[in-house]
Chains A and B, each alone.
Chain A
Amino acid sequence: MDKQTGFMKALKCRECGREYPLAATHVCEFDFGPLEVAYDYDRIKQSLTKKAIESRGKNMWRYRELLPIAGEPTVGCEVGFTPLIKADRLAKRLGIRELWIKNDTVNYPTLSFKDRVVSVALSRAKELGFTTVACASTGNLANSVAANAAAAGLKAYVFIPSDLEQGKILNSLVYGANVVGIKGHYDEVNRLCAEIAGKYGWAFVNVNMRPYYAEGSKSMGFEIIEQLGWKIPQHTVVPMASGSLLTKIQKSYQEFVKLGLVQQSRYSVHGAQATGCSPISVAQKAGLDFFKPVKPNTIAKSLAIGTPADGFYALKVMKETGGAADDVTDDEIRDGIKMLAECEGIFAETAGGVTVAVAKKLVATGKIPAMDSAVLCITGNGLKTLESVAGHVGQAREIRPSLREFESLLEAENKSTVTA
Chain B
Amino acid sequence: MRIKVRTQEPLRKLLDNEQVVEVSGTTVFEVIKTLQVRYPRFVERLLESDGSVRRFVNVYVNEEDIRFLQNQQTALRDGDEVRIISAIAGG
A312 contacts partner chain B, Cβ-Cβ < 8 Å: yes
Dominant secondary structure of chain B at its interface with chain A: mixed
Q: Which of B12, B45, B57, B90 makes the CB contact (< 8 A) with A241?
A: B90
Alpha-carbon distance between A385 and B57 when the two chains are bound, in angstroms: 32
Alpha-carbon distance between A194 and B12 when the two chains are bound, in angstroms: 12
Most-contacted residue by chain A among B14, B86, B88, B91 (CB, 10 A): B91
Question: Interface segment, A29-37, A42-50, A65-73?
Answer: A29-37
Most-contacted residue by chain B among A25, A27, A206 (CB, 10 A): A27
List, in ascending order, chain A residues with CB within 8 A of B12's CB: 198
Known A32-B86, A194-B88, A307-B87; contact A15-B14, beta-carbon cutoff 8 A: no
Question: In the complex, how many angstroms separate the beta carbon of A104 from the nearest chain B beta carbon?
Answer: 15
List, in ascending order, chain A residues with CB within 8 A of B55's CB: 290, 312
Question: Interface segment, A135-143, A317-325, A399-407?
Answer: A135-143
Are B57 and A198 in contact (CB-based, < 8 A)? Answer: no
A78 contacts partner chain B, Cβ-Cβ < 8 Å: no
- A interface bracket (residues with beta carbon within 8 Å of B): 35 or more
Q: Which of B10, B65, B89 makes the CB contact (< 8 A) with A187?
A: B65
Question: Interface segment, A207-215, A249-257, A265-273?
Answer: A207-215
Residue ID in chain B nearest A23 by CB atoms: B10
Are A29 and B45 in contact (CB-based, < 8 A)? Answer: yes
A236 contacts partner chain B, Cβ-Cβ < 8 Å: no
Q: Which of B45, B68, B85 makes the CB contact (< 8 A) with A30?
A: B45
User: Which parts of B32-75 form the interface with A (CB within 8 Å)?
Assistant: 45-46, 54-58, 60, 63, 65, 67-68
Are A29 and B11 in contact (CB-based, < 8 A)? Answer: yes
Q: Which of A186, A293, A312 makes the CB contact (< 8 A) with B90?
A: A186
Alpha-carbon distance between A26 and B89 when the two chains are bound, in angstroms: 10
Q: Which of B46, B57, B90 makes the CB contact (< 8 A) with A242?
A: B90
B83 contacts partner chain A, Cβ-Cβ < 8 Å: yes
The tally of residues in B whose CB lies under 8 Å from a CB in A reads: 28
Alpha-carbon distance between A198 and B58 when the two chains are bound, in angstroms: 17
Alpha-carbon distance between A26 and B85 when the two chains are bound, in angstroms: 12
List, in ascending order, chain B residues with CB within 8 A of A197's CB: 8-9
List, in ascending order, chain B residues with CB within 8 A of A187's CB: 65
B6 contacts partner chain A, Cβ-Cβ < 8 Å: yes
List, in ascending order, chain A residues with CB within 8 A of B60's CB: 191
Known A293-B67, A312-B55; contact A191-B90, beta-carbon cutoff 8 A: no
* Chain A to chain B: the 5 pairs with minimum beta-carbon distance, closest first: A198-B9, A242-B90, A309-B87, A138-B91, A241-B91
Question: In the complex, how many angstroms separate the beta carbon of B38 from the nearest chain A beta carbon?
Answer: 18
List, in ascending order, chain A residues with CB within 8 A of B6's CB: 195
Q: Mark A5-33, 1 if CB is under 8 A from B, else 0.
A: 00000000001000000000111011111
List, in ascending order, chain A residues with CB within 8 A of B56's CB: 15, 27, 31-34, 309
List, in ascending order, chain B residues with CB within 8 A of A304's CB: 91
Are A32 and B57 in contact (CB-based, < 8 A)? Answer: yes
Residue ID in chain A nearest B14 by CB atoms: A29
B13 contacts partner chain A, Cβ-Cβ < 8 Å: yes
List, in ascending order, chain A residues with CB within 8 A of B57's CB: 32
Known A30-B45, A32-B45, A307-B65; contact A25-B91, beta-carbon cutoff 8 A: no
Known A15-B56, A31-B54; contact A190-B90, beta-carbon cutoff 8 A: yes
Q: Which of A140, A191, A302, A309 makes the CB contact (< 8 A) with B89?
A: A309
List, in ascending order, chain A residues with CB within 8 A of B63's CB: 184, 188, 191
Question: In the complex, how many angstroms separate the beta carbon of B4 from the nearest chain A beta carbon?
Answer: 13
A233 contacts partner chain B, Cβ-Cβ < 8 Å: no
Alpha-carbon distance between A191 and B7 when the two chains are bound, in angstroms: 10
A295 contacts partner chain B, Cβ-Cβ < 8 Å: yes
Question: What are 19 A-B contacts with C-beta separation under 8 Å?
Answer: A15-B56, A27-B11, A27-B56, A30-B45, A31-B45, A32-B56, A136-B88, A194-B86, A195-B83, A198-B9, A198-B10, A206-B90, A207-B88, A208-B9, A244-B89, A295-B68, A307-B65, A309-B87, A312-B55
Q: Which of A27, A193, A292, A309 makes the CB contact (< 8 A) with B10?
A: A27
A60 contacts partner chain B, Cβ-Cβ < 8 Å: no
